[in-house]
Amino acid sequence: MAADAAQSRNTGWRNAIILILIWEIVGRLDLIAGGALPSLSEILLRLWVDRADYPQHVIATLYASGLGFIIGNAIGILAGIIFALSPTTLRLFRGVNIAIFALPPIAIAPILVLTLSGMAPRVVLATLGVYFVTMTATVIGLSQTDKRTSDLIQAYGGTSWTTLRLVQLRGALPTILSAFRIAAPNAVLGAILAEFGGGGRWGLGTYLLGSLGRGEPDRLWGIGLTATAIAGLSYLGFALLSNRFLGATRAVTLNAATPDDATPTKSVGHNFLLTLGTIALPLTLWWAYIKLSGVPDLISKTPWGVIDYLFLGKTAAVAQAKLLQALAETLPITFVGMALGLLFAFLLAICSRLFPQAIKAFMPVALVTQTMPLVALTPLLVLMLGRGTSLTLWVTISVTFFPAFVTLAQGISLVPRGTQELPRAYGAGPWTEMRMVTIPASLPYLFAATRLTVPRALLGVMIAEWLATGKGLGNLLNQSRGYLDFGMIWSVAAVSVLVSIILYQLVVIAERRVLRRFGMQTAE
């Protein structure tokens, strides 16, 4: 076994080195897009030349993302505990939680810059990237504790508080720590996005903006790889921490208890009120945010302000027409992009089972695509793909596939060995086994991946529209800034969140129906 592991590590290294060599040759010879893709050595040399520029920018980015990480996790864990203790609260906040999950950051960044000042937009955007991940992990972690241990506490007269303290929180720790891994890069990316737009003096996003005008891809890649390194190191740090901490605390035996049915039957009226609250709460919070920030009505719009702008004001007809046209341009390609992103993630997940070594070599590349600010890659992308549908689709795939891939790969790896071995025993090859067992068995994870993909697909399309194609919602958002059309800026943000929520809900409904038919449980 040890020899096997060593050999597989060697193949991994070999593949990575081959990849870097190809990159080096292609970059040095300016083979791609007339030199818009620099080689790794050129990027590293440039990083060395620019080394004096980096410390203050990196410190600013670390400060904003670190603060956002702490605040987001604090709120996330606290909210997770409250939600786990009170399912009613969880249902009431469902609308808020989905909205936060579905917010397209590029639509929200301008709004934050409008309403907040200084470091605040960066910290808030980082916080928003962290909250949902940690909150969800806390709820899941707390509700999945081993029933046997909590029974023990109760048998000795422990209250629900002691159960929470001694059993549930401890049991949830692995899930929460693994959420930190995902949350940390999110915080970094959120901070950089807000730095890019928000006009501060320091931060990698600001540095990127100033560097863009030079037309020097090695500098842009240097900044992108620095962002990747920060995100990657924070991921690695928390991965190591969780291994260190938790090596010995995993349950040895399987918990056979089925989770309680989470939806107790209540009266129709009660359910109706809850649903109403779920919808009203995000709108109330939006309204309260504007009132509390004290920003004048002219530039900040309440929910009512947006309705007034879109339906009642004197320019309502024009605004509606613009918005509908943008939606007509954005939505169809969002669906196609989402489907392709999922398909790519699915193929990748299957390959990771069938050809694990090839996928391992691909993972660093995948990670770079997740943390490299796309604005730095725009010249490369438009030179290679033009400014049409194919660029939009590729950008959307690159924005969507990674979380979906991780979820699907997890699903595929959790398929019990016994079921997999059955078709093998009957002489089936790996493909037949995949088709008959693994793929159907990981259906819950396919749905979970689809839920993750929906809002990101919209984000990907909007980014492509903003940077390259000049169509749809992404372009409308930026043009509205040029017209000082505050009503439209808020409307685009609200509509893009709403579209994400609706698509998300549609997936959830389909998920419940299908999984119920198959007698399966929802995966998170």
Partner 1 sequence: MTLSLNRRHFLSTAAAAAAASMVPKGAFAATPLTMQAAWINDAEFAGYFLAMDEGYYTSEGLDLTYLSGGPDVIPESTIIAGRADLALTTPDTTIKAIADQGAPFKIIGAQYQKNPIGIVSLVDSGINSPADLVRKTLAVPPVNVISVEAMLKLNGIEAGAVNIVPYAYDPTPLIKGEIDASLDFTTNVPYTISQQGAEATSFLLYDFGYTTYNDTVVVTEDVLKNKRAELVAWLRASRKGWNENFIDPAVWPPKWADTHFKGTGRTIDNEIFFNGAQQPLMETPSGIFSMSEDDIEANLSALGEVGIVGSRDMFDTTLLEEI
Task: Please give the Cα distance from 185 to 229 (Å, whole number).
Answer: 10
Task: Please give the Cα distance from 283 to 281 (Å, whole number).
Answer: 5
Question: Which span sits near partner 1 by CB under 8 A: 2-10, 184-192, 280-288, 376-384?
Answer: 376-384
- Count of residues near partner 1 by CB under 8 A: 63
Length of the chain: 524
Neighbours of 188 (CB within 10 A): 30
User: Site mask, partner 1, residues 314-353, x = CB under 8 A?
Assistant: -x--------------------------------------
Task: Please give the Cα distance from 93 to 84 (Å, whole number).
Answer: 12
Cβ–Cβ under 8 Å, residues 455 and 104: yes
Task: Please give the Cα distance from 523 to 414 (Å, whole number).
Answer: 11
Examine residue 201 and tell whether it contacts partner 1 (CB under 8 A): yes
Task: Please give the Cα distance from 404 to 504 (Å, whole number).
Answer: 14
From the list 45, 285, 481, 505, which residue makes contact with partner 1 (rule: CB under 8 A)? Answer: 481
Examine residue 60 and tell whether it contacts partner 1 (CB under 8 A): yes
From the list 375, 404, 441, 448, which residue makes contact with partner 1 (rule: CB under 8 A)? Answer: 375
Q: Which is nearer to partner 1, 269 or 482 (CB)?
A: 482
Q: Which is nearer to partner 1, 242 or 469 (CB)?
A: 469
Examine residue 206 and tell whether it contacts partner 1 (CB under 8 A): yes
Rounded to a whole number of angstroms, the minimum distance from the CB of residue 499 to partner 1 is: 20
Question: Which span sits near partner 1 by CB under 8 A: 52-60, 134-142, 179-187, 447-455?
Answer: 52-60
The DSSP string of 430-481 is HHHHIIIIIHHHTHHHHHHHHHHHHHHHHHHHHHHIIIII--HHHHHHHHHH
CB under 8 Å to 315, separation ≥6 — which residues? 309, 487
Task: Please give the Cα distance from 449 to 346 (Å, whole number).
Answer: 9
The DSSP string of 168-224 is IHHHHHHHHHHHHHHHHHHHHHHHHHHHHHH--SSSHHHHHHHHHTT--HHHHHHHH
What is the token pair recorded at 133? 């991940």
DSSP secondary structure letter of residue 33: G
Examine residue 382 and tell whether it contacts partner 1 (CB under 8 A): yes
User: Site mask, partner 1, residues 445-474, x = CB under 8 A?
Assistant: ---------------------xxxxx----
Q: Which is nearer to partner 1, 331 or 383 (CB)?
A: 383
From the list 98, 130, 212, 495, which residue makes contact with partner 1 (rule: CB under 8 A)? Answer: 212
Q: What residues from 106 to 135 belong to the interface with partner 1 (CB under 8 A)?
A: 109-110, 113-115, 117-120
Examine residue 295 and tell whether it contacts partner 1 (CB under 8 A): yes
Examine residue 196 and tell whether it contacts partner 1 (CB under 8 A): yes
Residue recorded with tokens 């359910």: 271
From the list 157, 269, 418, 482, which residue makes contact with partner 1 (rule: CB under 8 A)? Answer: 482
Question: Which span sits near partner 1 by CB under 8 A: 80-88, 213-221, 227-235, 364-372?
Answer: 213-221
Task: Please give the Cα distance from 50 to 439 (Å, whole number).
Answer: 49
From the list 29, 298, 324, 328, which residue makes contact with partner 1 (rule: CB under 8 A)? Answer: 298
Q: Cα-flanking dihedrals φ and ψ of residue 67, to 5°?
A: -65, -45
From the list 220, 350, 361, 393, which residue makes contact with partner 1 (rule: CB under 8 A)? Answer: 220
User: Site mask, partner 1, residues 16-45, x = CB under 8 A?
Assistant: -----------------xx-x---------
From the list 190, 217, 403, 423, which residue makes contact with partner 1 (rule: CB under 8 A)? Answer: 217
Q: Which is nearer to partner 1, 95 or 197 (CB)?
A: 197
CA distances in angstroms from 419 to 43, 161, 433, listed in the order given: 48, 40, 9
> By the criterion CB under 8 A, which residues form the site for partner 1?
33-34, 36, 52-54, 56-57, 60, 109-110, 113-115, 117-120, 196-203, 206-215, 217, 219-220, 295-296, 298-299, 315, 375, 378-379, 382-383, 387, 466-470, 475, 478-479, 481-484, 486
